[in-house]
């Protein structure tokens, strides 16, 4: 790559090297963009043709009942067939599908496509033996171990709908998600490791299940081997079940309608409880397959590493489904970037010859802090492409990533997307000229716009609401059990356009620059949390009468949670109480939700109708103008 200022383009631009161009699937970005612009359905049909269908679709896109779009209507398929079975007929049968290293580096596990098939079939048979049928929901709550992938695929294989809950969440979050989905089965492990310590997953499940009547069985995968209580009749060790005759290596794949749900994934939006985003077997498959292929340019000799957690959408789309659909080899690491030392990730890249690496800006900023000496101890020359996701990447972090990790050789794919979009939406492909901090332009077939409050496009360079104009195959279909909320939340502010919840700017080259959320979502270290969840954890403490949570800028985390609490009478504000409340949130919601700071107040700014004006709190905390406060109560 080379950097230049060109008269044609605004700002600092990084151009791809001839090697990058030569390798890339997409050599002529403009041509493919034009192709998709002129014939959206034709473009996506062409991508879908690369996969195998039990029965071809009658119609690519059905938009007769907007915004309930349908894709590949009339088709029959199962995503797992394309993730696994399709490859078993080729040389990929013996290809490495997945390799894994434990946090302490003492264990390594590898699985060919053939082996993944066996593991998934075995688990699918066990899940079926627990009475799970097509359409049933299964909650998965595990650490980063291969079995989480097998569990997801096993559900998909038999047509059950998985609902993965991030292993860093705690009891309230888990309980709410199990209750809402009415899962009959939970798959978990005894514990997971984090920075050398055990995270008590099974015990958290036990506590969460006290309030959940729907769950009949719990499958427990042994990872740590420490003592955990097992409830007779309900809890089953996975390894015990594997020894039973039902745990056969062969399992038929359920034939699904393309629009049948594949999974639900809970995510925070504006106000209220997290909502379950629904993704399907057909369109989601085509979307994740195509985006991963074109954006990260995966080839058979690549070694892909998406360092996210499978519990978030990034893991669903780009650890589990996308890589397997592409027949790729991927790496999964159990631990985090800096335990025991801040070279842990760089060591993995060297040791395993990673060629394409995808992570979040918060991790880059965190590792940057430890200095260049750590990555410089390692040979990172296997890398050829880098990626970023989850929050805006500040140009300083982008340049460090580019220079110190990618050695000015590897383009950085800054991919903007959401749980709801299922796949990359604004992203470069490897040959696109890059500007640090911009995800460049919408992916093929998509158009984005920046609108003002009234729904009119703002001039280039001005901030506004980011909306998407066209449907796309991996789009969410609805909110599980709440189609009205789906319409209201995403499609009603600007009818016919998808409201992203982000604010952004576009520059004169048509490049998009994401600024951040405009709703009550807080992005802490790239993790998506809702103010409402944090607030409800706070008011569950006896001392707190009312609470408001906001996200404020943080150097490493991007945003940090700050809370304002109004105490019940009889309680006095003190540093000890503040600490207790921080701990209370961590215990109930999960350590990622632990507030940075707790402030005690006598009053919260509210509208006359009683809604907390977080916007005003945020402005005050940052010493910024409070904006329109005409609705503020006296």
User: Which residue of 170, 181, 355, 415 would you call a contact of ligand WTA, by CB under 6 A?
Assistant: 415
User: Which residue of 78, 183, 419, 536 would you call a contact of ligand WTA, by CB under 6 A?
Assistant: 419
CA quadruple 512, 518, 519, 520: dihedral positive or negative? positive
- Does 502 bind ligand WTA (CB under 6 A)? Our answer is yes
Instruction: Residue 271: count other Cβ atoms within 10 Å of its Cβ.
Output: 12
Closest CA to 381 of 351, 398, 406, 364: 406
- What radius of gyration do the chain's Cα atoms show? 24
User: Which residue of 87, 236, 528, 588 would you call a contact of ligand WTA, by CB under 6 A?
Assistant: 528
Concatenated DSSP letters of 8-25:
SSSS-EEEPPHHHHHH-S
* Residue of minimal Cβ distance to ligand WTA: 419
Residues within window 229-288 making contact with ligand WTA, judged by CB under 6 A: 267
Size of the site for ligand WTA (CB under 6 A): 24
Q: Smallest gap, in angstroms, from Cβ of residue 107 to ligand WTA?
A: 29
Burial-class residue 495 by CB neighbours within 10 Å (0-12, 13-18, 19+): exposed
Q: Smallest gap, in angstroms, from Cβ of residue 526 to ligand WTA?
A: 7
- Does 310 bind ligand WTA (CB under 6 A)? Our answer is no
How far apart CA 114 and CA 93 sit, in angstroms, is 5
Instruction: Residue 190: count other Cβ atoms within 10 Å of its Cβ.
Output: 21
String marking each residue 421-440 x if it binds ligand WTA according to CB under 6 A:
------------------x-
- Does 414 bind ligand WTA (CB under 6 A)? Our answer is yes
Residues within window 311-340 making contact with ligand WTA, judged by CB under 6 A: 312-314
Long-range contacts at 206-209 (CB < 8 A, ≥ 24 apart): 206/231, 207/171, 207/175, 208/171, 208/174, 208/175, 208/178, 209/175, 209/178
Which one, 267 or 478, has the nearer CB to ligand WTA?
267
Which one, 13 or 393, has the nearer CB to ligand WTA?
393
How far apart CA 45 and CA 235 sit, in angstroms, is 45
Which one, 270 or 347, has the nearer CB to ligand WTA?
270
Which one, 75 or 274, has the nearer CB to ligand WTA?
274
Which one, 389 or 589, has the nearer CB to ligand WTA?
389
- Does 194 bind ligand WTA (CB under 6 A)? Our answer is no
Closest CA to 116 of 328, 408, 262: 328
- ∠ CA 159-64-46, rounded to 5°: 65
- Does 541 bind ligand WTA (CB under 6 A)? Our answer is no
User: Which residue of 62, 391, 533, 535 would you call a contact of ligand WTA, by CB under 6 A?
Assistant: 391
Size of the chain in residues: 634
User: Which residue of 166, 333, 417, 486 would you call a contact of ligand WTA, by CB under 6 A?
Assistant: 417
Q: How far is CA 82 from the centre of its chain?
A: 21
Candidate segments 115-123, 349-357, 500-508, 616-624, binder of ligand WTA by CB under 6 A = 500-508
Q: Smallest gap, in angstroms, from Cβ of residue 483 to ligand WTA?
A: 20
- Does 389 bind ligand WTA (CB under 6 A)? Our answer is yes
Distances (CA, A) of 279 to 14, 86, 174, 273, 310: 35, 21, 20, 19, 15
User: Which residue of 157, 223, 477, 517 would you call a contact of ligand WTA, by CB under 6 A?
Assistant: 517
Q: Which residues bind ligand WTA (CB under 6 A)?
A: 267, 312-314, 388-392, 414-419, 439, 500-502, 514, 516-517, 523, 528
């Amino acid at each position: 790559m080379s950097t230049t200022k060109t008269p044609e383009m605004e700002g600092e631009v990084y151009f791809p090297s001839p090697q990058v161009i030569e390798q890339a699937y997409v050599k002529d970005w403009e041509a493919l963009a034009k192709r998709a612009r002129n014939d959206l359905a034709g473009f996506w049909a062409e991508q879908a043709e690369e996969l195998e269908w039990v029965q071809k679709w009658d119609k690519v896109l059905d938009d007769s009942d907007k915004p309930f779009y349908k894709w590949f209507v009339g088709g029959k398929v199962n995503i797992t067939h394309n993730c696994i079975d399709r490859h078993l007929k080729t040389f990929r049968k013996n290809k490495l599908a997945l390799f894994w290293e434990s946090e302490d580096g003492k264990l390594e596990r590898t699985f060919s496509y053939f082996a993944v098939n066996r593991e998934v079939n075995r688990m699918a048979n066990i899940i079926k033996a627990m009475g799970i049928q097509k359409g049933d929901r299964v909650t998965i709550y595990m650490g980063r171990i291969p079995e989480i992938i097998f569990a997801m695929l096993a559900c998909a294989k038999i047509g059950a709908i998985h609902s993965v809950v991030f292993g860093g969440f705690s009891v309230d979050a888990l309980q709410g998600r199990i209750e809402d989905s009415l899962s009959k089965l939970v798959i978990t492990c005894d514990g997971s490791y984090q920075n050398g310590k055990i995270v008590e997953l099974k015990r958290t499940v036990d506590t969460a299940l006290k309030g959940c009547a729907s769950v009949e069985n719990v499958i427990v995968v042994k990872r740590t081997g420490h003592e955990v209580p097992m409830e007779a009749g309900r809890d089953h060790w996975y390894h015990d079940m594997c020894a039973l005759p039902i745990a056969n290596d062969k399992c038929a794949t359920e034939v699904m309608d393309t629009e049948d749900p594949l999974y639900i994934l809970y995510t925070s939006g504006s106000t209220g409880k997290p909502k379950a985003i629904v993704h399907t077997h057909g369109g989601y498959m085509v979307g994740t397959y195509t985006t991963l292929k074109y954006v990260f340019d995966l080839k058979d000799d690549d070694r892909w590493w998406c360092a996210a957690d499978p519990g978030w959408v990034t893991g669903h789309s780009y650890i589990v489904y996308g890589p397997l659909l592409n027949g790729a080899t991927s790496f999964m690491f159990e631990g985090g970037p800096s335990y025991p030392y801040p070279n842990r990730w760089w060591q993995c890249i060297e040791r395993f010859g990673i060629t394409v690496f995808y992570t979040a800006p918060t991790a880059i900023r965190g590792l940057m802090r430890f200095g260049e000496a750590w990555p410089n101890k390692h040979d990172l020359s296997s890398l050829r492409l880098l990626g970023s996701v989850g929050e805006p990447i500040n140009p300083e972090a982008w340049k460090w990533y580019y220079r110190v990790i990618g050695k000015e050789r590897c383009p950085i794919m800054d991919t903007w997307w959401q749980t709801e979009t299922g796949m990359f939406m604004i992203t470069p492909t490897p040959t696109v000229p890059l500007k640090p901090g911009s995800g460049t332009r919408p992916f093929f077939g998509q158009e984005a716009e920046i609108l003002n409050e009234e729904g009119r496009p703002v001039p280039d360079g001005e901030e506004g609401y980011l909306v998407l104009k066209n449907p796309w195959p991996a789009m969410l279909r609805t909110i599980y059990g709440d189609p009205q909320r789906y319409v209201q939340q995403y499609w009603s502010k600007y009818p016919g356009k998808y409201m992203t919840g982000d604010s952004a700017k576009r520059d004169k080259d048509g490049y998009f620059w994401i600024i951040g959320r405009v709703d009550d979502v807080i992005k802490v270290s790239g993790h998506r949390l809702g103010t409402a969840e944090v607030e409800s954890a706070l008011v569950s403490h006896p001392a707190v009468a009312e609470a408001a949570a906001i996200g404020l800028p943080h150097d490493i985390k991007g945003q940090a949670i700050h809370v304002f609490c109004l105490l019940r009478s009889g309680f006095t504000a003190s540093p000890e109480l503040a600490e207790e409340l921080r701990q209370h949130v961590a215990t109930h919601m999960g350590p990622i939700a632990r507030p940075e700071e707790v402030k005690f107040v006598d009053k919260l700014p509210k509208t006359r109708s009683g809604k907390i004006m977080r916007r005003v709190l945020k402005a005050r905390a940052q010493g910024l103008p409070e904006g329109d406060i005409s609705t503020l109560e006296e």
